[in-house]
Amino acid sequence: MGFALRLWLYWLWWVLLYSVAVAAATAAVLVGVIYVLKGAPALDADVYGALEAIARVVFVPLWCAALLWAHLMVTRRLFACCLGGRRLILLTCKGDERIYPVGLGDVLPVWRRFLMLIVWIVAVEVLLLVGVTSLWGGMSATALLRPSVLGAMSALGAFAALLVLLGRCKCILVTQC
């Protein structure tokens, strides 16, 4: 398996794990606070259903925020792991000195490039998919905006963005570990 594929799978796994865990924990705390502020009524079916509905409503925006946070944290973590005998090294802007340890401020420019590349690649994917489906009369344009479809496009966009960053970014170096 190639280094870029391993790196992408590593990135994808940890972004999903971190974001879902943070969003679920934050939603649970928020639901617990709401439950206590309402006087901690007995947990019958109605109260439990209401708390579950609140958790479902707050989970989605919390997950969106947690995805950005996890994306940044895992991008930083990419510079500290060895995958398949290779590792990423972050260099200074001039490309002459190695940055170690990599802090959040150091990885921020790379993260912004990575995130913007993903956004642009997903936009191109959506436009291509809408064009193709309108030509052949497949899915409607609104069906393409389902979270599962956009999630898959984001994951593929992240892989393409990672390939672009590995090939074109002068502040990232791939070395043996």
pLDDT digits (tens, 9 = 90+) for 55-73: 999 998 999 899 999 999 9
78 and 98 Cβ atoms separated by less than 8 Å: no
Quote the crossing angle between the two packed helices 104-136 and 147-168, to the nearest 10°.
130
DSSP structure class, residue 103: P
Q: Under a CB-based contact definition with an 8 Å cutoff, are residues 59 and 27 in contact?
A: yes
Q: Can you tell me the distance from the alpha carbon of 52 to that of 170, in angstroms, rounded to the nearest whole number?
A: 48
pLDDT tens digits for 125-163? Answer: 988 888 877 777 766 667 767 777 888 899 999 999 999
d(CA 163, CA 8): 9
pTM as predicted:
0.84
pLDDT band for 99, please (50, 70, 90 cuts): confident
Instruction: Give yes or no for residue 1 having a pLDDT over 70.
Output: no
Rounded Cα distance, 146 and 135, in Å = 20
